[in-house]
Structure 1
Amino acid sequence: MIGLTNSEDSPLARESRVAIAVPTKLDHAISVNAYSTLLIAAGALASSTFDSFLPVAPTLLRAVREVRQSLEVWQRQVEQSGWFVEGEPYYFLARGGSLGSCHEARLLWEEGAKIPATAMSTSGFRHGPQEIVREGLRFCMWIDQSRMRDQDLSVAYDLRELGASVMLIGENLPPDAGDLVCQLPNSPTNWQFAIDVFPIQLAAERMSRLLGVDCDSFRVCSYVVEDEHGLLHKKAEFSQDVE
């Protein structure tokens, strides 16, 4: 078993036949750095089993450097956007590799902003769940580099026609395709997933401030979940006697 971890002394590293420890500054509570570093490491490892990561690395590094310049733009966008509101449901939709960012976004909403959210594939949403669309609903969609772009932009358009507010994340997007459009730097083919979580991480922090909650601490969850006993860090005693 190959173990990917940010901590070389973690149980995963100790139990793995081969351990790959990715050095990074650990997060205080909710994973941000740890998510991206392990994601890229896993992608590099997977690509090496079929071809080689070396041809991809220079272009990917350039995209990551360009993200630094984009962060201020995205931060300014989320501060000024009306997409963030209290009391509305939030849905996250994506395809392909961006599904990871989609589900991470839901987790950031739950852990960071402390509110419920839903994440699913865009195709899955179109087969029944779209019946929930109504005025004021919030959606964030990841638009792939090449896969089903026109179709997904059409979904975004129709969501807005139905009264929903839509945030879009992707490369080379029409500026007016959503209520909040975060343009990504160009990345290697099939590697958009490595950088497309950053705008929604900023968005989660913005949402937490709007709601007046601490996005980097847990109210109920343990920093390390060590057992399956309840939620409140205490083991309940139950009688085994059955009358």
Structure 2
Amino acid sequence: MNDYIKDILAQPETLKNAVQSYPYQQVNELAAMLKNNEFDRVILSGMGASLDAAMPAARELSKLPIPIILLNSAELLNYHLSQITPKTLLWLHSQSGRSVELVNIVEEILKFPPAVMVASVNDPDSPLAKAADLQLFIQAGEEATVSVKTYTNMLAINLLAAIHLTGEDVQTAQEELLLVSEKMAVFLADWENHLTRLDTLLGDFETLFILGRGGSLCTVNYGALITKEAAKAAFHGYHAAEFRHGPLELVQPGFCAILFAGDKTAEKPNLVLAKDIQRHGGKVIWVGQETHSDLPTFQIPYLSDWMMPFFEMLPMQALSVVMAKRNGFEPGVFRYVGKVTTVE
């Protein structure tokens, strides 16, 4: 078993560690500042899987009566630094804490510091962690290559902090995440059968899109990223609604879409899109908790709508392994990039 697959299978345990290590008191102090109107906006930023892991937190924070801005760190660094005000809560995300864009942002804001800088990070000795006013350590341990444990744990810690900051019940959320860890472990115990099932569902295809909306968007982006990294497969990740605005023209025999059912708001329009793709000659693999008789389905566990990304990412990790083997690569082994990106 290679290191990438070992990291995938280790996720339930590392997730449990992260949830149990959540820094309640420190985030509680930040929540009090927010309640006292000490911030005029929240800016969340990261790169790659770290940015994807910030998306559900940004959605949760949108319940607040102040602007919530989610930005790629290269864009923030080069074009949007003026958005950082003396009353900004700046929340930066980097599993290594050493990505070039994040390090450069830290240097730039020395000239005009925000009110508070928070860092979601795995490495406590990194420049990002040392510069932050509040460190949210994701407790993922060492990771070999492609982001799996670090993505899962950052997703969890970010969501817990966002729920905490919006005044909702963070302790109940922690309990639910521990149940997620248990359900994940059960799913991963049958890992080889899941790989076989997904490989069969995929069959032969020429073009593949990963589609979803709402809470599934982080997984859409994450899936498209890790299949490129881990399997050298050029798959497209698209918002399901955006797919109708042009890319639908690509559908024909040989086209395959992996479509996340999503939450109650997303499921109905996603189901209509699935039928349209089939009608135009394409193949759809439906990913959700329930099967549909007329849609090939890859079933995943379910606990609650906001927990769905933790289960949706599992078939994306399986897809990366299946496609690596099809393409003749060892899953998760880098050729050109490293664990840390040091050149912008």
Could you say what secondary structure the match of 2:153 adopts? Answer: helix
Aligned to 1:15: 131
- CA gap of 1:53–1:2, structure 2 versus 1, over 3 A, is same
Q: Which residue of 1 aligns with 2:290?
A: 172
Q: CA deviation at 1:95?
A: 0.8
Cα distance between partner residues in 2 of 1:177 and 1:36:
32
Higher helix share: 2
What's the counterpart of residue 314 of structure 2? 198
Q: Secondary structure at the match of 2:136?
A: strand
Could you tell me which amino acid in structure 1 is paired with residue 130 of structure 2? R
SS in 1 for 2:335: coil
Deviation at 1:172, TM superposition (A): 2.5
Contact kept, 8 Å, 1:3 with 1:16, in 2: the verdict is yes
| Distance of 1:105 and 1:99 partners within structure 2 | 10
1:79 aligns with 2:196: yes
CA contact (8 A) 2:164 2:170 kept: yes
1:209 correspondence with 2:325 = yes
Question: 1:145 — aligned with what?
Answer: 263
Asked if residue 106 in structure 1 is aligned to residue 231 in structure 2, the reply is no
Cα 1:61–1:109 change in 2 (3 A) is: same
Say if 1:87 and 1:76 are closer, same or farther in 2 by CA, change over 3 A. Answer: same
Give SS of 1:221's match. coil
Pairing partner for 1:55 from 152, 163, 172: 172
Task: Supply the distance in 2 between the matched residues of 1:37 and 1:167 (Cα, whole angstroms).
Answer: 27
CA distance, structure 2, for counterparts of residue 120 and residue 110 of structure 1: 15
- Write the distance in 1 (CA, Å) between the matches of 2:323 and 2:339: 22
Provide the C-alpha distance between the structure 1 equivalents of 2:241 and 2:341, rounded to a whole number of angstroms.
33
Aligned to 2:215: 97
Q: Distance in 2 between matches of 1:136 and 1:148?
A: 26
Is the 8 Å Cα contact of residues 56 and 188 (structure 1) preserved in structure 2?
no
Residue 338 (structure 2) pairs with residue 222 (structure 1): yes
Shift of 1:141: 1.1
Residue of structure 2 equivalent to 1:115: 233
Unaligned runs of 5+ in 2: 1-116
1:135 alignment partner in structure 2: 253
Counterparts of 1:25 and 1:132, CA distance in 2:
42
CA distance in 2, matches of 1:187, 1:29: 29
Cα distance in 2 for residues equivalent to 1:31 and 1:225: 13
Higher mean alpha-carbon deviation, 195-204 vs 161-170, is at 161-170
Taking only aligned residues, the RMSD between alpha carbons, in angstroms, comes to 1.9
Equivalent residue pairs, number:
226
> Which residue, 118, 122, 130 being the options, matches 1:6?
122
Normalising by structure 1, what TM-score?
0.85
Could you tell me which residue of structure 2 aligns to residue 237 of structure 1?
Answer: none
Q: Distance in 1 between matches of 2:337 and 2:252?
A: 33
Q: Percent same amino acid at aligned positions?
A: 23
Per-residue deviation, 1:177: 4.5
C-alpha distance 8-225 of structure 1, shift in aligned 2 (>3 A): same
Aligned-partner residue type, residue 171 of structure 1: Q
8 A contact 1:145–1:171 mirrored in 2: no
Aligned partners of 1:156 and 1:177 also within 8 Å = no
Q: Which runs of 5+ in 1 are unaligned?
A: 229-243
* Post-superposition offset of 1:9: 1.2
Correspondence for 1:70: 187
Q: 1:65 to 1:177 in 2, by over 3 A?
A: farther
Which residue of structure 1 lines up, in the alignment, with residue 277 of structure 2? Answer: 159
The one of 161, 164, 178 aligned to 1:45: 161
**What amino acid maps onto 1:78 in structure 2?**
L
